[in-house]
């Protein structure tokens, strides 16, 4: 158990107010960035019918006004290319839409994913769960209790992964109830929380949340989802420091995205910025082939070449594992970089 002192920690109301004030209109987003007269960008507005646009203002402030190729903007802005019906792409690329109980995916032998909440603070256009039937996997105490009963009955599980949507969309008191219940299951050792919410709204890391994470007997890991160094600002660094004071291990996984981070220097800058913020690079995922996201695709050959170029640019501990997830497989699948072995 960690004993933490948090200074100037955001209140519960701060992040909820920001969550209620996210931008949902593509035209407003373009106006804020002085790009509303850009014809190609404006033409993508109808894609919000396929997948709603949601962008917190704290994240928009990190974007560069007037830059139509801003790497943060490209991750969240609707695009005409989302209407392309790309061959080989699916609405369920990871074969996840059959849960053992509502909201619980026992995908791996020793660990299961609990879809704590279905919503997100930001809707990333490449999201592999953009078509997921969250209406059948509601994040509520009844479903959580069914999940807890399943976890209790399966002693091979030693790690639970909070996923979503975004699990930190749950309020602090909900997370405290759930984490306390998991801590009472003796065969569990670790809790891993995957979240993008602290990236786009750093004030989500409240004193109450840190206290809950500090007090559980479980080892806690937070995996942020950051794809570009410009996503990391002083507010995010402060939030990560609050988590470190609560003895939370900080990791990051990124997605390799065309036009966002598909060059070695950008990836090197990301790894260094992550480590400066106290976060260790973990995975670099090739794109999950979800319908609507084909324009972000980077081929395996390009990905391998990027990693080979990244290796001499950063220390070994800053090199993420290049991997893909294949539905039904018992683990992530690392991509062979085809390096010389002798």
- CATH classification of the domain holding 190: 3.20.20.70
Containing structural domain, residue 112: 85-334
Q: In this structure, what token pair is assigned to residue 30?
A: 């373009």
User: SS3 of 2, please?
Assistant: coil
pLDDT in the model for residue 9: 63
- Dihedral in degrees, nearest 10, Cα atoms 311, 312, 317, 323: 0
| Residues lower than pLDDT 70 in the chain | 1-12, 93-98, 131-138, 342
Residue 118 lies in a domain: yes
Residue 15 lies in a domain: no
Asked if 291 and 86 count as a contact pair (C-beta separation under 8 A), the reply is yes
- Dihedral in degrees, nearest 10, Cα atoms 128, 180, 139, 136: 80
Residue 126 lies in a domain: yes
pLDDT in the model for residue 3: 47
Residue 43 lies in a domain: no
The total domain count for the chain is 1
Q: In this structure, what token pair is assigned to residue 308?
A: 């080979």
Asked if 74 and 63 count as a contact pair (C-beta separation under 8 A), the reply is no
pLDDT in the model for residue 10: 67
Residue 279 lies in a domain: yes
Report d(CA 168, CA 263) in Å as an integer: 31
In angstroms, the Cα distances linking 167 to 107, 117, 153, 174, 327 are 18, 5, 23, 10, 22
Report d(CA 133, CA 230) in Å as an integer: 32
Residue 46 lies in a domain: no
pLDDT in the model for residue 103: 86
From 120, 124, 107, 122, select the one nearest 164 (Cα to Cα). 120
Burial of 61 (0-12, 13-18, 19+ CB in 10 A): exposed
From 195, 312, 303, select the one nearest 251 (Cα to Cα). 195
Q: HSE of 4 in the Cβ direction (CA atoms, 13 Å)? A: 25
Q: Write down the pTM of the prediction.
A: 0.93
Burial of 304 (0-12, 13-18, 19+ CB in 10 A): middle
Q: Rounded to the nearest 10 degrees, what angle do helices 207-215 and 172-183 cross at?
A: 0
pLDDT in the model for residue 4: 47
pLDDT in the model for residue 1: 46
Residue 119 lies in a domain: yes
Report d(CA 244, CA 34) in Å as an integer: 37
pLDDT in the model for residue 212: 98
Report d(CA 72, CA 151) in Å as an integer: 37
Residue 1 lies in a domain: no
């Amino acid at each position: 158990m960690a004993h933490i002192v948090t200074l100037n920690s955001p209140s519960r109301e701060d992040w909820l107010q920001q969550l209620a004030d996210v931008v949902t209109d593509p035209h407003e987003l373009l106006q804020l960035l002085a790009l509303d007269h850009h014809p190609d960008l404006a033409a993508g507005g109808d894609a919000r019918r396929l997948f709603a646009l949601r962008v917190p203002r704290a994240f928009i402030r990190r974007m560069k006004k007037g830059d139509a190729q801003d790497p943060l903007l490209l991750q969240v802005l609707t695009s005409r290319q989302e209407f392309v019906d790309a061959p080989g792409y699916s609405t369920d690329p990871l074969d996840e839409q059959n849960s053992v109980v509502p909201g619980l995916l026992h995908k791996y032998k020793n660990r299961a994913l609990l879809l704590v909440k279905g919503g997100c603070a930001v809707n990333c256009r490449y999201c592999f769960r953009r078509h997921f039937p969250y209406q059948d996997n509601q994040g509520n105490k009844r479903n959580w209790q069914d999940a807890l009963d399943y976890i209790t009955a399966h002693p091979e599980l030693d790690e639970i992964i909070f996923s979503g949507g975004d699990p930190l969309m749950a309020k602090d008191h909900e997370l405290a109830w759930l984490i306390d219940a998991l801590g009472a299951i003796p065969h569990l050792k670790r809790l891993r929380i995957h979240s993008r919410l602290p990236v786009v709204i750093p004030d989500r890391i409240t004193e109450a949340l840190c206290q809950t994470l500090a007090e559980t007997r479980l080892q806690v890991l937070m995996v942020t989802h950051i794809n570009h160094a410009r996503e990391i600002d002083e507010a995010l660094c402060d939030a990560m420091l609050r988590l470190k004071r609560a003895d939370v291990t900080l990791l990051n996984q990124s997605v390799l995205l065309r036009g966002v981070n598909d060059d070695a220097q950008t990836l090197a800058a990301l790894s260094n910025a992550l480590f400066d913020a106290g976060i260790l690079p973990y995975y670099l995922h090739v794109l999950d082939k979800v319908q609507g996201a084909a324009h972000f695709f980077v081929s395996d050959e390009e990905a391998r070449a990027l990693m080979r170029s990244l290796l001499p640019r950063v220390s070994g501990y800053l090199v993420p594992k290049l991997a893909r997830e294949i539905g039904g497989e018992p683990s992530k699948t690392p991509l062979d970089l085809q390096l010389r072995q002798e």
